[in-house]
Structure 1
Amino acid sequence: MDDSTRRRFLKAGGIALTALSGCVDGGSGSGQATETATSDPSIDSLELGAEAVSTGFTSPLDVVVPRAEEYWVVDQAGQVYVVDGPDADPQVALDVTDRMVSVSGYDERGLLGLAFHPDYDGAGRAYLRYSAPRRDGTPENYSHTFVLSEFAVDSGTIDPDSERTVLEIPEPQGNHNAGAVTFGPDGYLYVAVGDGGAGNDQGQGHVEDWYDAVDGGNGQDVTENLLGSILRIDVDSEGEDGRPYAIPSGNPLVDKDGLPEQFAWGFRNPWRFSFGPDGRFFVADVGQSKWEEVSVVERGGNYGWNVREGANCFRVEDCPTETPDGAPLRDPIVQYPHEGGDVSGISVIGGYLYDGADIPALQGRYVFADWRARGDLFVATDRGDDRWPVRAVPVEGDGLGSNVLSFGRTTAGELLVCTTDKRGVSGETGAVHRLRPATG
């Protein structure tokens, strides 16, 4: 079956705990446990420290450092702040609350991501991802409209009048919004899109796919909508059909039966992604009720949702490992359970492959977390196998808030961690920390 035939075949064929967590309803898995690292002398006794870079935010979901000592913090409540160095007070660079849905308490919508164009040098372009009230083209019974917009940036401010909408996607539910945006080494903009919300990739706004054992859904569809996918677009060109972006010629569905913006698919709620210094693309995908996962994502890859949750069958005892035409459902490099094991949690928070100098023991390892951090961060080590072993590494004292929201990276490769002590969009306990070796 060729690609075109396959796309035609594909086309034919809970309870919210936090702003990121899975749902209670779910299914059986194969019981594959976390690959927990055995003795590893370089990190067996490792303990990390953290120092505050900036505090007083509500729900900091992203921190971007395009230039040394220039920290841009995305607050879910609707503000972008710029902090000129660790001792500086945050200054509001942009407020988009008048363009967003109203968010407070438990909510997965809001201002979700920020990326600077690679040409940025103190002035240039920035791309913001936020949740807007329903716009034209979004059905009346849908929750909101996904918006990706371009803004002009100059001297620490983002011009609110310069907004140019790049992409809009109708969102049927209020959850599973993902929100990460970043430029890849190829200069194209990568955009994470969740499966449309609700549970199981089913219900309103979820289309039929090729897999009959579990109804739905958007994760396995590539023709009807852009939900459940990682997108790749060229924001430096316009499309022939008048779109404010072009499609990179190397995208896997170009000239095939599918939406050509899609770079990879089969995701539930890809909460944060990053490129390693070696070009590998790490995507963390929040699970439903049993498994959390991180994958190294490649062009045209299908990462399994909702046939599989992690490397395990979802809601059935037995399930395929490939699509009907033989395309593999790719397993993650990291998975860990919601209960049991040395490493567990409920909502994976994607991080970075460390290449800084401050913490030599982390060099070349993937550092990430779970929303339910409990004072630990997670470290995964590439040992040349398909599954990377994971260890929990403590952060001394009360160095981090009770809930990890996201990670960032300085221009020198050091890691930043965004946290809050709240379970929703409220208060002023949000903070950005820089990881250090433990002092004790």
Structure 2
Amino acid sequence: MSRRGRSTPSQHRDDPTDDNETPMRTNAATARHATTRRRFLRTSAAAGALVGSGGIAAAQSQPTEIRLGGEIGGWKGRKPESIADESNPTLQLDAGVDYRITWKNIDGQGHNIALLDGKGEVLKRTEVMNEQGATQTIEFTAREEMAEYICEPHRSSMHGSIAFGEETVTQTTTESGDDGSSYFGDGPTVRTETVTEGTLTAPLDFGVPPGESGRYFIVDRIGQVYVHESGSLNDEPFIDVSDKLTEITGEMGLLGMAFHPDYGENRKFYLRYSAPSREGTPDEFSHTEVLSEFEASEDGSTGNVDSERTIMEVPSPYDTHNAGAIVFGPDDGYLYVAMGDGGGAHDTDLGHVSDWYDRNEGGNGQDVTENLLGSILRIDVDSQEGDKAYGIPDDNPLVGKDGLNEQFAWGFRNPWRMGFSDGTLFTSDVGQNGFEEIDIVEKDKNYGWNVREGTHCFKPGPEGSRNPPENCPSKLPSDVRGGERLIDPVIEYPHSADGQGVGSAAMGGYLYQRDDIPELQGDYVFGDFRKSKETETPTGSLLAATPAEDDGLWDVAELSVENTDSGFVGGYILAMGRDNDDRLYVLTTANTGSEATGAVHRIVPPQSQGATATGNATAPNGSAATPNATAATNTTAAGTTGVGGRTDATPSSTDGSPRTATEGTQADGESGVSAGTSSDSGPGFGVLAALSGLTIGAARLLSGREE
């Protein structure tokens, strides 16, 4: 890993000499244009053309066969040989020829295949299928209006082009590592200790009350907060708000938790969750995002669900792009609230308002006057202003100006997780089709979505994804908020490079401020949901970024986990956590079904630095923590094997009976899209939508807990 000199993390500063139009950034993560010949699907039909119409007729007695593999990381070419082993290969077709695409489900998650035209309209689709190893077929006659094939639940990572003829085209690729095998450089080796496993389904947030040590609060997406203390997870939840949640589809659920700075005295804490549509939410919208205050018992052992005071309600048009992180500022004591752009592919669909950028229709990320979506908000929960249940800090940037007073920063797509490190606010903003980014959030700044995705110009739709514009504004017109500049991320990486998977969704992180792993000290350590490799084993990646000496992008290296066979964490990474002693934690799930395979792992020094070699390691609070084994899930008659081989019984309801899942109804005979979910909404990060068995094709209402 390249080690630059340490510097205080800072945002890219405005350069008044920049022109308003700026080309796509040139760096290791930037697309380079390579003129290449399309790979051709030459089959018996094409060969028949060489011997006349009789040959064509004979060849077309059977459709031309194309075979693919399907997993979250992307479509994998199988047949013909010209596309073998390619990720999201371009399918070169001949108009009027009949084709049959047969694809195999590699990872057991909800996928389908859909053919789109150049405007993104679906021409033909299959139903969503989630049986691992099963195959599905779609037959069609090629028409020149066909432009793309996708998996609708995971279109951000599973999308490939359709082309006709033999013309030379410009393709966008990205640079890989020096040896061509890895995009990132090799980082330090770490070890993980499993803090808890076998009870949680999808842990999304982790917190410790101010001034406490050894007691960890873990948020489970399906509606509970559990406390881990004295070496184990408490049997009963600290609080259960599952009855307040809407039916969980997409990226909805219990999404975030924060403790009041004076929690030790007032016992107040705050939750972000997705509720059924409340008053003021349009009928056609998906749900309402809610921020509420609760109080714990005097001894802090339980949260009182009946103490709820609703702080904020925000209508959300789709079940994706909700963000959900909430955090108190360490210096000002105000609550920062991350809001996604509301969902819908490309920030242009239902619920998205007009903005200043005419090239891309709509955009909650660029709007600051009509709604609170696509922004990070800052409010005062200790006061009230007018009919609001909260106050507005006097120095919020739009107070007294044209805009909503809650706004602190804007231009975000899906700022999934955020947190302060050494006084600096970081957020991971999950990308659309091409790039992931980490931003340093500062007041009154615009982070570019949907003008840009990371440092790259963005254009909505399948054609825009394949051929994004080379130039786009670097600042707003002078008559819009004074011509504010668009701020670059400090960290950026692509979804794929040279046909190899790089990552899929940035899951947030923190600066590493301990001295027990010297190579990481001062680096930003973060997780990516899953490396896009063709493997049935979850491959959540741990990454570390070294602050740049100047305003450039930070160098990123991939960490190797010593005690897993793969070197990955051994699960899908959902979020990162930190305790009051600056130890970092990784929140994972072992599969995307409804089983209780959620886990929390602590990052510790590798064995070579004195970590326990085998058996149980002693955790900081004196409890037993086990080294993390490679995650694998194997369904058996007795139950499901979770992380590290633990066998969990079938989840049960509160009365002890087996828990059932409510299947989502299909919107029509073909789509397999559950009620209340738009097949055109586009994924928030294309992966959380499948968690807890909540695929777009089969939404599950989860309740109860294994006894």
Structures share a fold, TM > 0.5? yes
Contact 1:200 1:288 survives alignment (8 Å): yes
Question: CA-to-partner distance for each residue in 1:385-423, whole Å, 9 max, x for gaps?
Answer: 221010011112337332000011011101011000122
Per the alignment, residue 366 of structure 1 pairs with: 524
- How big is the shift at 1:286? 0.2
- The alpha-carbon distance between structure 1 residues 327 and 70, as it changes in their structure 2 partners (threshold 3 A), is same
Per the alignment, residue 50 of structure 1 pairs with: 192
Per the alignment, residue 396 of structure 1 pairs with: 562
SS of the equivalent of 1:428 reads: coil
- How big is the shift at 1:82? 1.0
Per the alignment, residue 199 of structure 1 pairs with: 345
Aligned partners of 1:208, 1:175: CA distance in 2, in Å? 20
Gaps of 5+ in 1: 1-13, 37-42
The 5-angstrom pairing of residues 42-191 of structure 1 reads 46-55=188-197, 56-66=199-209, 67-89=212-234, 91-103=236-248, 107-121=250-264, 124-154=267-297, 155-185=300-330, 186-191=332-337
Contact 1:29 1:312 survives alignment (8 Å): no
Contact 1:283 1:350 survives alignment (8 Å): yes
SS of the equivalent of 1:91 reads: coil
Contact 2:186 2:558 survives alignment (8 Å): no
- How big is the shift at 1:338? 0.5
Output the amino acid matched with 1:348. A
Per the alignment, residue 346 of structure 1 pairs with: 504
Contact 2:187 2:558 survives alignment (8 Å): no
Per the alignment, residue 371 of structure 2 pairs with: 225
SS of the equivalent of 1:301 reads: coil
- How big is the shift at 1:429? 0.6
Output the amino acid matched with 2:227. V
- The alpha-carbon distance between structure 1 residues 250 and 376, as it changes in their structure 2 partners (threshold 3 A), is same
Aligned partners of 1:143, 1:23: CA distance in 2, in Å? 24
Say if 2:551 is the partner of 1:409. Answer: no
Per the alignment, residue 3 of structure 1 pairs with: none
Aligned partners of 1:23, 1:204: CA distance in 2, in Å? 22
SS of the equivalent of 1:259 reads: coil
Question: CA-to-partner distance for each residue in 1:83-123, whole Å, 9 max, x for gaps?
Answer: 114345453011111110122xx630000000000111286
Contact 1:26 1:200 survives alignment (8 Å): no
Give the one of 244, 259, 269 matched to 2:414: 269
Contact 1:352 1:366 survives alignment (8 Å): yes
Aligned partners of 1:32, 1:298: CA distance in 2, in Å? 29
Output the amino acid matched with 1:329. L
- How big is the shift at 1:76? 0.4
Aligned partners of 1:16, 1:222: CA distance in 2, in Å? 30
Larger Rg: 2
- The alpha-carbon distance between structure 1 residues 255 and 367, as it changes in their structure 2 partners (threshold 3 A), is same
Aligned partners of 1:201, 1:228: CA distance in 2, in Å? 9
- How big is the shift at 1:23? 6.6
- The alpha-carbon distance between structure 1 residues 305 and 34, as it changes in their structure 2 partners (threshold 3 A), is farther
The 5-angstrom pairing of residues 228-307 of structure 1 reads 228-239=374-385, 241-277=386-422, 279-307=423-451
Output the amino acid matched with 2:548. R
- How big is the shift at 1:29? 11
Contact 1:65 1:71 survives alignment (8 Å): yes
- How big is the shift at 1:314? 0.3
Output the amino acid matched with 1:416. Y
Contact 1:35 1:388 survives alignment (8 Å): no
- How big is the shift at 1:242? 2.0
Aligned partners of 2:487, 2:520: CA distance in 1, in Å? 27
Q: Which has the higher contact order (CA 8 A, sep 6+)?
A: 1
- How big is the shift at 1:32? 7.6
Say if 2:482 is the partner of 1:313. Answer: no
Output the amino acid matched with 2:563. G
Aligned partners of 1:166, 1:30: CA distance in 2, in Å? 45
Output the amino acid matched with 2:496. E
- How big is the shift at 1:377? 0.5
Aligned partners of 1:410, 1:188: CA distance in 2, in Å? 20
Per the alignment, residue 331 of structure 1 pairs with: 488
SS of the equivalent of 1:129 reads: strand
Contact 2:187 2:544 survives alignment (8 Å): no
Per the alignment, residue 674 of structure 2 pairs with: none
Aligned partners of 1:282, 1:34: CA distance in 2, in Å? 26
Contact 1:48 1:393 survives alignment (8 Å): yes
Contact 2:175 2:497 survives alignment (8 Å): no
Output the amino acid matched with 1:311. T
Aligned partners of 2:271, 2:177: CA distance in 1, in Å? 36
- The alpha-carbon distance between structure 1 residues 31 and 60, as it changes in their structure 2 partners (threshold 3 A), is same
Farther-moved stretch of structure 1 (358-367 vs 182-191):
358-367
Question: CA-to-partner distance for each residue in 1:248-307, whole Å, 9 max, x for gaps?
Answer: 011100001100101000000001011111x11111100000000001111010000000
Contact 2:474 2:485 survives alignment (8 Å): yes
Output the amino acid matched with 1:338. H
SS of the equivalent of 2:365 reads: helix
Per the alignment, residue 10 of structure 1 pairs with: none
Aligned partners of 2:173, 2:240: CA distance in 1, in Å? 46
- The alpha-carbon distance between structure 1 residues 90 and 284, as it changes in their structure 2 partners (threshold 3 A), is farther
SS of the equivalent of 2:409 reads: strand
Matched positions, count: 414
Aligned partners of 1:401, 1:123: CA distance in 2, in Å? 39
Q: Could you tell me the percent identity over the aligned residues? A: 50
Per the alignment, residue 385 of structure 1 pairs with: 550
Aligned partners of 1:327, 1:34: CA distance in 2, in Å? 34
Aligned partners of 2:545, 2:361: CA distance in 1, in Å? 33
SS of the equivalent of 1:57 reads: coil
- The alpha-carbon distance between structure 1 residues 57 and 138, as it changes in their structure 2 partners (threshold 3 A), is same
- The alpha-carbon distance between structure 1 residues 22 and 90, as it changes in their structure 2 partners (threshold 3 A), is farther
- The alpha-carbon distance between structure 1 residues 124 and 395, as it changes in their structure 2 partners (threshold 3 A), is same
Question: CA-to-partner distance for each residue in 1:42-62, whole Å, 9 max, x for gaps?
Answer: x95621111111122000000
Aligned partners of 1:113, 1:33: CA distance in 2, in Å? 36
SS of the equivalent of 2:324 reads: coil
Aligned partners of 2:458, 2:272: CA distance in 1, in Å? 30
- How big is the shift at 1:24? 6.0
Say if 2:576 is the partner of 1:419. Answer: no
